[in-house]
């Protein structure tokens, strides 16, 4: 036998042995497709109709504890809790600010990994910012999450559970402002969502599937934010999921972006912007360009002009520059980092220059700063 034939075997074995070490979480109802759920209940010896009943408890009533599902026999509840509804997220700490309208939760996963999610209630909508990985491997030097490296990918159910928890708290009236619903989901918590592609897409499908088989949140309310993993953006373009794509650009030129968003060394500004533009054309969804303003790093007037040029290159035709919207974020300062927030006047000039060149630009608010819950501040430590 030559080495070419033996190689695939070695890989397969390695895969099987590696899985537990990577801390793969137990399978959960929210990891399964609708068909798989029917199969799962049948495998456990239950009639088919139970699948809908369980989905109603979980996705419609937002109740993730089978022990409370009193329309089911007790023995079955135990079995379900063990086999299909294991507890995936354990709340370690909840911090709130903005009179309770912003709430950050630190979660412990089954293997001890820590992640965070943030709920932000506004007058007309409520947004959940969710994590897709424990840690992050993208190493952006201005982001707290990147400092700790990547621990592991989260499963689809671990992602969905963050949303279920927020939706449940809102519906139960635990957030000031009366009972409410989650309208927006942003994949802007810990991790690079497109580096955990399958779980993220599975989670999005479940989030947008109507009740009782999913959470019934409109795809228009879902934003997936990426550093610009071009092949994954292309793949997402073909999924037929009209979610909003956010591209974390942070610099219009490769020289600077290579240092701020290291993945730029792999896929550069032009390639990332091309992929984002294609995404907008196919999905008819306006792309967001994320740009954190860092004092004397990326906030110069000439960079605003260059950013406008880079984006306008794509924007001709009947739709004008409507394919893109620039989201400027005053940098949230991270302890031990050399990067600081831009001066107010420089931020204002940056916006003015983009607008004068016909680009839509808004300054994002920095909710949660006081509890380290703002963009780039999620580091998930217990202390």
Q: Identify which of residues 329 and 373 has a Cβ nearer to ligand SAH in the complex.
A: 329
Residue where the block lists tokens 């709920």: 119
CB 144 within 8 A of CB 203: no
d(CA 56, CA 215): 10
Phi, psi angles (nearest 5°) of residue 189: -85, -145
d(CA 342, CA 338): 13
Q: Give the C-alpha distances (Å, rounded to integers) separating 132 from 145, 187, 190, 192, 266.
A: 12, 7, 6, 7, 22
Closest of 291, 295, 305, 302 to residue 257, by C-alpha: 291
Stretch that binds ligand SAH, among 23-31, 147-155, 230-238, 328-336 (CB under 6 A): 328-336
Look up 338 and say whether it is catalytic: no
Stretch that binds ligand SAH, among 16-24, 84-92, 136-144, 343-351 (CB under 6 A): 136-144
**Should residue 30 be labelled a site residue for ligand SAH when binding is judged by CB under 6 A?**
no
Which ranges of 261-374 would DSSP assign to H, the alpha helix? 269-283, 301-312, 344-356
Q: Identify which of residues 215 and 373 has a Cβ nearer to ligand SAH in the complex.
A: 373
Closest of 53, 67, 174, 54 to residue 119, by C-alpha: 174
Report the residue from 116, 290, 299, 372 that binds ligand SAH according to the rule CB under 6 A.
290
Q: Which residues are bridge partners to 109 per DSSP?
A: 89
Tokens of 366: 């920095």
**Should residue 158 be labelled a site residue for ligand SAH when binding is judged by CB under 6 A?**
no
**Should residue 248 be labelled a site residue for ligand SAH when binding is judged by CB under 6 A?**
yes
Residues in contact with ligand SAH, counted by CB under 6 A, come to a total of 17
**Among 136, 140, 143, 375, which one carries the catalytic annotation?**
375
Stretch that binds ligand SAH, among 12-20, 62-70, 225-233, 345-353 (CB under 6 A): 225-233
Report the residue from 157, 169, 329, 359 that binds ligand SAH according to the rule CB under 6 A.
329
Q: Which residue is nearest to ligand SAH (CB)?
A: 376
At its nearest, how many Å lie between ligand SAH and the CB of residue 293? Answer: 8
Q: Identify which of residues 51 and 140 has a Cβ nearer to ligand SAH in the complex.
A: 140
Count of alpha carbons within 13 angstroms of residue 300, beta-carbon side: 10
SS3 315: coil
At its nearest, how many Å lie between ligand SAH and the CB of residue 165? Answer: 19
**Among 68, 116, 161, 278, which one carries the catalytic annotation?**
116
Q: Identify which of residues 58 and 333 has a Cβ nearer to ligand SAH in the complex.
A: 333
d(CA 203, CA 74): 29
Report the residue from 166, 212, 214, 376 that binds ligand SAH according to the rule CB under 6 A.
376
SS3 319: coil
List the interface residues with ligand SAH, window 38-67 (CB under 6 A).
Answer: none
At its nearest, how many Å lie between ligand SAH and the CB of residue 196? Answer: 10
List the interface residues with ligand SAH, window 137-156 (CB under 6 A).
Answer: 138, 142-143
**Should residue 368 be labelled a site residue for ligand SAH when binding is judged by CB under 6 A?**
no
**Should residue 222 be labelled a site residue for ligand SAH when binding is judged by CB under 6 A?**
no
Tokens of 230: 């071009």
For 249-287, give one letter per residue: b (16+ CB within 10 A) or e: bbbbbeebbbbbbbbbeebbbeebbbbbbbbbeebebeb
Stretch that binds ligand SAH, among 98-106, 110-118, 204-212, 326-334 (CB under 6 A): 326-334
Q: Which residues are bridge partners to 326 per DSSP?
A: 289, 361
Q: Identify which of residues 34 and 95 has a Cβ nearer to ligand SAH in the complex.
A: 95
Tokens of 159: 């992602």
Report the residue from 332, 350, 354, 359 that binds ligand SAH according to the rule CB under 6 A.
332
Look up 136 and say whether it is catalytic: no
Report the residue from 163, 188, 361, 380 that binds ligand SAH according to the rule CB under 6 A.
188
Residues in contact with ligand SAH by CB under 6 A are 138, 142-143, 188, 192, 225-227, 248, 290, 292, 329, 331-332, 334, 375-376
Q: Looking at the annotation, which residues are catalytic?
A: 116, 375
């Amino acid at each position: 036998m030559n080495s070419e034939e033996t190689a695939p075997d070695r890989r397969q074995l390695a895969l099987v042995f590696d899985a537990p070490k990577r801390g793969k979480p137990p399978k959960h109802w929210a990891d399964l497709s609708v068909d798989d759920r029917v199969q799962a209940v049948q495998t456990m010896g239950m009639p088919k109709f139970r699948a809908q009943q369980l989905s109603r408890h979980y996705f419609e009533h937002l109740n993730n504890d089978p022990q409370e599902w009193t329309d089911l026999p007790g023995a079955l509840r135990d079995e379900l809790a063990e086999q299909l509804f294991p507890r995936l997220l354990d709340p370690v700490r909840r911090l709130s600010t903005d009179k309770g309208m912003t709430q950050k939760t630190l979660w412990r996963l089954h293997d001890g990994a820590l992640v965070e999610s943030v709920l932000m209630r506004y007058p007309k909508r409520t947004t959940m910012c969710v994590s897709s990985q424990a840690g992050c491997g993208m190493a952006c030097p201005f982001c707290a999450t990147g400092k700790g490296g990547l621990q592991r990918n989260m499963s689809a159910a671990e992602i969905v559970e963050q949303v279920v928890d927020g939706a449940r708290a809102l519906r139960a009236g635990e957030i000031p402002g009366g009972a409410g619903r989650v309208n927006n989901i942003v994949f802007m918590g810990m991790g690079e969502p497109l580096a955990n592609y399958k779980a993220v897409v599975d989670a999005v499908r479940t989030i947008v599937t109507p009740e009782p088989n999913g959470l019934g949140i409109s795809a228009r309310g879902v934003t997936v934010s990426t550093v610009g993993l071009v092949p994954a953006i292309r793949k997402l373009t073909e999924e037929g999921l009209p979610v909003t794509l956010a591209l974390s650009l942070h610099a219009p030129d490769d020289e600077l972006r290579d240092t701020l968003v290291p993945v730029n060394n792999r896929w550069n500004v032009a390639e990332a912007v091309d992929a984002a533009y294609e995404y907008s054309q196919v999905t008819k969804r306006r792309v967001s360009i994320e740009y954190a303003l860092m004092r004397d790093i990326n906030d110069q007037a000439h960079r605003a002009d260059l950013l406008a040029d880079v984006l306008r290159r794509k924007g001709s035709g009947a739709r004008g520059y409507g394919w893109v919207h620039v989201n400027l974020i005053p940098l949230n300062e991270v302890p031990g980092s050399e990067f600081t927030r831009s001066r107010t006047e420089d931020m204002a000039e940056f916006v003015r220059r983009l607008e004068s060149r016909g680009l839509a630009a808004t300054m994002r608010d920095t909710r949660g700063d006081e509890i380290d819950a703002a963009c780039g501040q999620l580091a998930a430590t217990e202390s």
